[in-house]
Structure 1
Amino acid sequence: MAHWLFQEEHELLRRSVRSWVEKEVKPRVPEWEEKGEFPRELFARAGELGFLGLTFPEEYGGSGEDYLAGAVFVEEVYRCGSAGVAAGLVASTGIAAPQIYKFGSPELKERFLPPTIRGEKIGALAVTEPNAGSDVASLQTTARREGDYYLVNGSKVFITNGVRADYVVAAVKTDPAAGKNGISLLVVEKGTPGFSVVRKLDKLGWHTSDTAELVFEDCRVPRGNLVGQENLGFYYLMQNFVWERLSMALGGVVGAQLALEEALRYAQQRVQFGRPLSKFQAIRHRLAEMAARTETARCLTYHALALFVSGQDAVTAVAMAKNYACETACYVADEALQIHGGYGYMMEYPVQRLWRDARVGTIGGGTTEIMREIIAARLVNG
């Protein structure tokens, strides 16, 4: 059912993305899950269809549409049933490239945005470190100026797209003594001496999304690769966190919806004691609660999206949406697995993947605890 927030052009886009996902992505998900990655060519295909440049201007190869179009893409690509595929595609143009588009020099934009929008280059945002996750101000990777270069030393972990990224937008300390006021963003390209991918991380969920640990050892990065102004990186990151968290909320709603659909399908087909599971009151009430929570998460997320696209302060609403939607995805997936009984614990049933993929939603992009702190701080401080 169409929602009032989306106009006719958004629904046309939705049908286009959904058709692509149903025909070219979803059928291959089991194969990609087994291999632990999806092909790089998928970026190029999404770029060819115009899906990676929806929110970027035409001068860089985008289509100049609004963030509602971006939200439609996020929702529909998550419907492939593999959050890892969605995370990989969304991270490049929804998390990494926006830092360059919003704050980078004209030269950086020309070098990185068009090939990223075409899907020829893959981007990653490198913030989290072994000893600095939610506390971004405490990151320890340093970048010391030496003539026309920055000498970068440190490490990053849990970096989505980090294994095969052609470039990473790395958060570094250019003034280690200044806390959050000493953070800058540097674009570090693949193949730069001193920059290496230590390993691809083995995860509980998001199997198709490559997640890396990165190391910088006397890595020389040209000063021209500085994004925006030196020491303003923390504030740049905070501005795009709103969209990143909104994207995760949208993904959470879709994950919950898919889990509900799997549970309903199974309950209608599985016969016990002479009748389908869907005829038992205990199961029917579970399904009702799952549906209600999913719809509540959708409404809260769309409310936050409406505030965001209208240019209003959406920080609190997005924190609420991200928190509730991702927690709901975990709850609904767990209930769906329980309804499947022993079969839910078998790898051949999609519900186990939905259950595994949902869990990271309450951690990545800001934990549930951080979201609650944001909400509480704004309630108390006004």
Structure 2
Amino acid sequence: MRRTVYSADHEAFRDTVRTFIERSILPIHEEIVAEKQIPDSVWQAAGKADLLGLEVPEEFGGSDPGDYRFNAVLGEELAKVSMAYNSCLQMHFDIGVPYFVKYGTQEQKERWLPGLCSGELVTTIAMTEPSGGSDLAALRTSAVRSGDDWVLNGSKTFITNGYTADVIIVAARTSPEKKAKGITLFALENGTPGFERGRKLDKVGQPEANTAELFFQDVKVPNANVIGEVDRGFIQMMEQLPQERISAAVGNLAQAKAILEETLVYAKERQAFGQSIGKFQHNKFLLADLFTQIDVSQAYVDACVVAHTQGDLTAVDAAKVKMWTSDIQNSVLDHCVQLHGGYGFMREYRVAQAWMDARVTRIWGGTNEIMKEIIGRDLGL
């Protein structure tokens, strides 16, 4: 079915994104996998292509078209190549950078946004801790006021871009007695004394993405590095989670659809018992079901993209679309692996890597069980 969510301007932007991918990512893809991180050259090429400042005003080096659909186009195209490129770059331009734009002071914007737009600086947000992920209100990392500084202690884990990020947004508890209402966000710069990174974590999937543990021992952070207001960090994170979740949904479906289309080609070409495997009724009916699931899900995702562009996407709808697409994505990819037979279990085949890459989408951004809890509460249960 023809999609109507994007205009000619969005499709022209899609061409720009594809050119960036073809020139700056695909030629060195294997090297990126081996190093388990995206090199500076890719970030800077993205900056030159004006891909990293989609929500940043021009005065700070961004392009700021004021239209979330450009973010969605970029997310789609990155996910088609690999979920890791989608997660790393999206963590920067779609999740991290908006915190500086929406909550940062004028001085913070002047200080960091130009570099974040050019790709000279990379950012991430550090929420998850070893003791828990989905329960953000229970985080243990603390920040205690000391004169004009805050002293940060604690640790974070599973942080995308964590091994290489130059400016990290750290969620820390500043008023323990206030529980969720006592959390503050801090911008922590690379090289700050007391801040250390652990190893690149050995994940099941998404090898291109550097994911790391972060450690803070008596780290002094200037009060000028507080993002937003003291003790309002939890509220700020809740305000930003709908965008993180619709962006996740966009990537989930784009990746699954790309691999399903490749699987259809394989089903037409692969021969067994004198005919293509796609001709067998079970496989034919299965593929008919899978393509229908993708198309129906795409209609819902597109509706959510429009709603978010207009400022109308609720936290509940964001939870629904994140949960639904990650379930559909994993189901579709599992069937794609089965249709490839033994080849589907070989890492050299994209379907195998995509299958491994996708498993985490039902966990990050709030587990699907948490999404169901959000939806259930909205139903009055």
TM-score band (shorter)?
A: over 0.9
CA distance in 2 between partners of 1:86 and 1:234 (Å): 25
Q: Structure 2 unaligned segments of length 5 or more: list them.
A: none
What pairs up with 1:230-249 in 2 under 5 angstroms?
230-249=230-249
CA distance in 1 between partners of 2:38 and 2:283 (Å): 36
What residue in structure 2 maps to residue 69 of structure 1?
A: 70
Local SS of the residue matching 1:79: helix
What residue in structure 1 maps to residue 9 of structure 2?
A: 9
Structure 1 residues 26 and 2, CA gap change in structure 2 (3 angstroms): farther
What pairs up with 1:23-172 in 2 under 5 angstroms?
23-65=23-65, 66-80=67-81, 82-172=82-172
CA distance in 2 between partners of 1:111 and 1:55 (Å): 16
Deviation at 1:138, TM superposition (A): 0.2
What pairs up with 1:120-269 in 2 under 5 angstroms?
120-269=120-269
Deviation at 1:325, TM superposition (A): 0.7
What residue in structure 2 maps to residue 378 of structure 1?
A: 378
Local SS of the residue matching 1:253: helix
CA distance in 2 between partners of 1:144 and 1:323 (Å): 36
CA distance in 2 between partners of 1:2 and 1:67 (Å): 20
Deviations 1:199-254 (CA, angstroms, capped at 9, x unpaired): 21110011111001000000000010001110000000011111111111001101
Deviates more, 1:15-24 or 1:283-292: 15-24
Deviation at 1:311, TM superposition (A): 1.6
CA distance in 1 between partners of 2:36 and 2:15 (Å): 28
- Which amino acid in structure 2 is aligned with residue 116 of structure 1? L
CA distance in 2 between partners of 1:93 and 1:348 (Å): 30
What residue in structure 2 maps to residue 272 of structure 1?
A: 272
Deviations 1:38-92 (CA, angstroms, capped at 9, x unpaired): 3221110001000111222111111121111111111112122x21122111111
CA distance in 2 between partners of 1:22 and 1:329 (Å): 25
Q: Does 1:281 align with 2:269?
A: no
CA distance in 2 between partners of 1:60 and 1:298 (Å): 34
* Residues 205 and 356 in structure 1, CA contact (< 8 A), matched pair in contact too: yes
CA distance in 2 between partners of 1:25 and 1:95 (Å): 21
* Residues 17 and 73 in structure 1, CA contact (< 8 A), matched pair in contact too: yes
What residue in structure 1 maps to residue 363 of structure 2?
A: 363
Deviations 1:16-57 (CA, angstroms, capped at 9, x unpaired): 212322343234333422332232211100010001112221
- Which amino acid in structure 1 is aligned with residue 172 of structure 2? V
- Which amino acid in structure 1 is aligned with residue 132 of structure 2? A
Local SS of the residue matching 2:216: strand
Deviates more, 1:118-127 or 1:259-268: 259-268
Deviations 1:106-142 (CA, angstroms, capped at 9, x unpaired): 1111111110011000001000001121000000000
Deviation at 1:339, TM superposition (A): 0.4
- Which amino acid in structure 1 is aligned with residue 227 of structure 2? V
CA distance in 2 between partners of 1:100 and 1:300 (Å): 30
- Which amino acid in structure 2 is aligned with residue 220 of structure 1? K
Deviation at 1:258, TM superposition (A): 1.7
Deviation at 1:165, TM superposition (A): 0.5
Deviation at 1:310, TM superposition (A): 1.1
Deviations 1:298-321 (CA, angstroms, capped at 9, x unpaired): 111111111111121422222111
CA distance in 1 between partners of 2:273 and 2:313 (Å): 54
* Residues 307 and 313 in structure 1, CA contact (< 8 A), matched pair in contact too: yes
CA distance in 2 between partners of 1:150 and 1:243 (Å): 29
CA distance in 2 between partners of 1:313 and 1:98 (Å): 17
Please list every run of at least 4 consecutive aligned residues from structure 1 whose deviation after the TM superposition is greater than 4 angstroms. Answer: none
* Residues 262 and 336 in structure 1, CA contact (< 8 A), matched pair in contact too: no
CA distance in 2 between partners of 1:225 and 1:306 (Å): 34
* Residues 76 and 255 in structure 2, CA contact (< 8 A), matched pair in contact too: no
What residue in structure 2 maps to residue 317 of structure 1?
A: 317
* Residues 95 and 240 in structure 1, CA contact (< 8 A), matched pair in contact too: yes
Structure 1 residues 12 and 301, CA gap change in structure 2 (3 angstroms): same
- Which amino acid in structure 1 is aligned with residue 173 of structure 2? K
* Residues 162 and 211 in structure 1, CA contact (< 8 A), matched pair in contact too: yes
Local SS of the residue matching 2:37: coil
* Residues 199 and 214 in structure 1, CA contact (< 8 A), matched pair in contact too: no
- Which amino acid in structure 1 is aligned with residue 369 of structure 2? E
Deviation at 1:194, TM superposition (A): 0.5
CA distance in 2 between partners of 1:194 and 1:51 (Å): 33
* Residues 20 and 49 in structure 2, CA contact (< 8 A), matched pair in contact too: no
Local SS of the residue matching 2:380: helix
- Which amino acid in structure 1 is aligned with residue 178 of structure 2? A
* Residues 55 and 69 in structure 1, CA contact (< 8 A), matched pair in contact too: no
Structure 1 residues 23 and 269, CA gap change in structure 2 (3 angstroms): farther
What residue in structure 2 maps to residue 348 of structure 1?
A: 348
* Residues 54 and 93 in structure 2, CA contact (< 8 A), matched pair in contact too: no
CA distance in 2 between partners of 1:192 and 1:109 (Å): 20
- Which amino acid in structure 2 is aligned with residue 104 of structure 1? G
CA distance in 1 between partners of 2:69 and 2:215 (Å): 36
Identity of aligned residues (%): 39
Deviates more, 1:3-12 or 1:327-336: 3-12
